[in-house]
Structure 1
Amino acid sequence: MLKIRLKRFGRKAQPCYRIVVTDSRVKRDGRAIEEVGFYNPLTDETHLKFDRIVERLKTGAQPTETVRNILLKAKVFDSL
């Protein structure tokens, strides 16, 4: 099953996350199929590729709870 989840990068105590599409069996920071966004929790900054996220959701990818909240805030589900 495909998951849309966060992949951590950045320094210690300064996390940044990439929003990626990956197989659910792969490690958190493992190989991703596609990068579809960016999230910085310190500044609450997000960059999303709306068309790619909507396409992946339509094909059955499941977002994690945190990613679902980010997508709800960005109103991605309104375009489904």
Structure 2
Amino acid sequence: MTLTASPVLPTPRFRPAADLPLWLVTMPTTSPTGARGEQTFAVRALTCTEALTAAITTAHTRPALRHRRGARIDTTDAHATLHH
């Protein structure tokens, strides 16, 4: 009897973004007039900490600031929820 070995493929170190869990990261906002609201970011990340880091980075971009019309965002009060 002959046995042939099949090569063992290495486990990928990085997963494609589409394979990562989807997190919804929400942060409170305050408008220039004092109105309160929140902004939510959909982020693909392996862990909650990575999701928070990515969302906080995105929160400081021009498109995010434009979307909230100049409202200040409180990144210290961010919370992440795993989307199912």
Q: Using structure 2 for the length normalisation, give the TM-score.
A: 0.29
Q: Which one has the bigger strand percentage?
A: 1
| Structure showing greater relative contact order (alpha-carbon pairs closer than 8 Å, 6 or more residues apart) | 2
Q: Which has the larger radius of gyration?
A: 2
Q: Using structure 1 for the length normalisation, give the TM-score.
A: 0.30
